[in-house]
Amino acid sequence: MLKNLCTSAIILFLISSHFLVFAQEGLDKIVNPKTNGTGYVSNADHILSNETVAKLNALIKPLNENGKAQVAVVLVNSIGDQVPKDFSTALLRKWGIGDRKKNNGLLILFVADQRRIEFEVGYGLEGLLTDLTCQRIQQGLMIPYFKKGDYNSGVLKGVELVVETIDTGIDQSLDEDNLYPELGWVLFQDILFFLVYIGAYSAYTTSQRGQYVVHSASGWWVPFLLFGPLIIVSVVALATPIFVMWDLFFLISYCCWSVFFSFAIGNMLASEPVGETRVQQYQYLKLMVWGFTVYAVLFPLPFLIFKYIGAKRRLRKLRYTPYQSPDSGAEMVLMKKNRALELTDKEQMEEKLGSVSYDLWEAGEGDPVMKLAYLNQNTKIRRCKKCLSITAKKTKRIVESKATTKGEGIASVYYTCQICGKSDFINQPISRKPQLNIFKGMFAAGLASSGDSNSSSSDRSSSSSSSSSSDSSSSSSSSSDWGGGSSGGGGSGSSW
């Protein structure tokens, strides 16, 4: 019985070890740069240009000569359906990359069809090239180029930083200036976007109609309007690897905003206008449409556009559907000529200044004219305290105290009535300067967490049976002039 068990265990072992050998079969197909004397780069599928290969060899050669490390770069179109991590571990062992005693080998494996880059790190280098360091270099430097199909730059920049790290003994990936090659430009674009957005938002909220809309809103969504989507996206970004792809990050951020605004604003536009008369309803809806035009432009989602067009149509209907004459019941028409005869001097001045427009409806000769006043909520003309017409025009603005990032400023704005000549002034708050440190902090947080959030394939292979490792080191020493080093499966990989 016991004997049977032992036999089956041995058979199982033989079968499994046979499978191990079978799994590494493709290794023979990888061109060993040592055996055909081309240096340190295996580029049989011509993924890199000859120029890049020459640069890589020049970079790697000194490390080999001063005994700090042995680095091999292998680029292949495909390894079939084998796992790149297992493959790179096996290949490093088979070739014996690294000094036999120091085990200072590093294999950089690029698999095109699986869109995978693996760093296979020998024991001796694991202290310097930790999994985290490998991932920072891959995701912060190489993957952004790979995504754009620029394999030459991606591999070259990555190897440069690896070589510099090994050469100096200092983890160069900790210096963020070395990573995120185009982050500066992307950051600039995004900050520009935010500045435009904040500018539009603050200009809008400090305008008369903006204040009306913001103050008349229920309140909770106003701060959410600006920060809500940003917070949501930041939480998502910190919890997922999305932050590496800044373009996607901001696309999602923009989509969140768009969807949020579409529903919030669309519903407001579609709600029944407040007011007893058609004029009041018109004014209410007009305010909404005006106020949200900036958002319709910033977030042109079909849903919002339809609501917007619908609101415009309702506005026309409210204003221009003919009234019935209260006397004769006849349909009235809008007066186009001789309007001056029906309007007072004040009203004419108001129309001239654009603060009020008057609709004059008449049924026929001799019938009384119906006069409807439409206040222009978008006007900068104020109501005169003396004659009560909306004819006070701004003459000058004096800044009493400047706005800072900590508090509002105050400006005195002077007005003169164009009818009676009375001068007056109002104190106007100047919006606090927006604090951009919030964004800075978020970007920093995104960068700091960049190391540990992506898929770590540090599958520390337990299958490294002693027989296979001794087998590989012996074969490596005979078949190549790599140093005969080995790997415990250290290092890390990233996909793009």
H/E segment holding residue 42: strand 41-42
Minimum separation from the CB atom of position 322 to Zn ion (A): 35
Measured from the CB atom, the residue of 93 and 382 that comes closer to Zn ion is 382
Measured from the CB atom, the residue of 134 and 419 that comes closer to Zn ion is 419
User: Which of these ranges, 74-82, 225-233, 409-417, 423-431, lies near Zn ion under the rule CB under 5 A?
Assistant: 409-417
# residues contacting Zn ion (CB under 5 A): 7
Given CA atoms 132, 133, 139, 142 in this order, what sign does their dihedral have?
A: negative
Minimum separation from the CB atom of position 386 to Zn ion (A): 5
Helix, strand, coil proportions of the chain in percent (round to 5)? Answer: 50, 15, 35
Residue bearing tokens 């080191």 = 473
Q: Is residue 132 exposed (0-12), middle (13-18) or buried (19+ Cβ within 10 Å)?
A: middle
Measured from the CB atom, the residue of 24 and 391 that comes closer to Zn ion is 391
CA angle 305, 226, 409 (to 5 degrees): 120
Minimum separation from the CB atom of position 391 to Zn ion (A): 6
Is the CB of residue 160 less than 8 Å from the CB of residue 181?
A: no
Measured from the CB atom, the residue of 315 and 417 that comes closer to Zn ion is 417
Minimum separation from the CB atom of position 349 to Zn ion (A): 9
Whole-angstrom distance, CA of residue 449 vs CA of residue 315: 51
Is the CB of residue 145 less than 8 Å from the CB of residue 151?
A: yes
Minimum separation from the CB atom of position 381 to Zn ion (A): 11
Residues 125-144 that bind Zn ion (CB under 5 A): none
Measured from the CB atom, the residue of 316 and 385 that comes closer to Zn ion is 385
Measured from the CB atom, the residue of 101 and 386 that comes closer to Zn ion is 386
Measured from the CB atom, the residue of 360 and 384 that comes closer to Zn ion is 384
Minimum separation from the CB atom of position 262 to Zn ion (A): 44
Residues 44-103 that bind Zn ion (CB under 5 A): none
Measured from the CB atom, the residue of 170 and 388 that comes closer to Zn ion is 388
Whole-angstrom distance, CA of residue 397 vs CA of residue 411: 7
- Which residue, among 428, 350, 356, 355, has the nearest Cα to 396 in the 3D structure? 428
Residue 155 main-chain phi, psi, to 5 deg: -65, -45
Whole-angstrom distance, CA of residue 346 vs CA of residue 104: 91
Minimum separation from the CB atom of position 398 to Zn ion (A): 22
Minimum separation from the CB atom of position 383 to Zn ion (A): 9
Tell me the per-residue interface mask from 416 to 435 with Zn ion, x by CB under 5 A, - otherwise. -x-xx-x-------------
Whole-angstrom distance, CA of residue 356 vs CA of residue 354: 6
- The runs of H, that is alpha helices, within 72-207 are 84-95, 131-137, 143-147, 151-168, 183-206
Token couple for 370: 């119906």
DSSP class of residue 306?
H
Minimum separation from the CB atom of position 416 to Zn ion (A): 9
70-76/105-111 β-pairing: parallel
Minimum separation from the CB atom of position 417 to Zn ion (A): 3
Measured from the CB atom, the residue of 132 and 387 that comes closer to Zn ion is 387
Whole-angstrom distance, CA of residue 272 vs CA of residue 195: 34
Residue 495 main-chain phi, psi, to 5 deg: -105, 160
- DSSP states along 243-307: GG-HHHHHHHHHHHHHHHHHHHHHHHHHSPPP-SSHHHHHHHHHHHHHHHHHHHHHS--HHHHHH
Residues 339-398 that bind Zn ion (CB under 5 A): 384, 386-387
Measured from the CB atom, the residue of 426 and 444 that comes closer to Zn ion is 426
Residue bearing tokens 């696309």 = 251
Q: Which residues lie near Zn ion (CB under 5 A)? A: 384, 386-387, 417, 419-420, 422
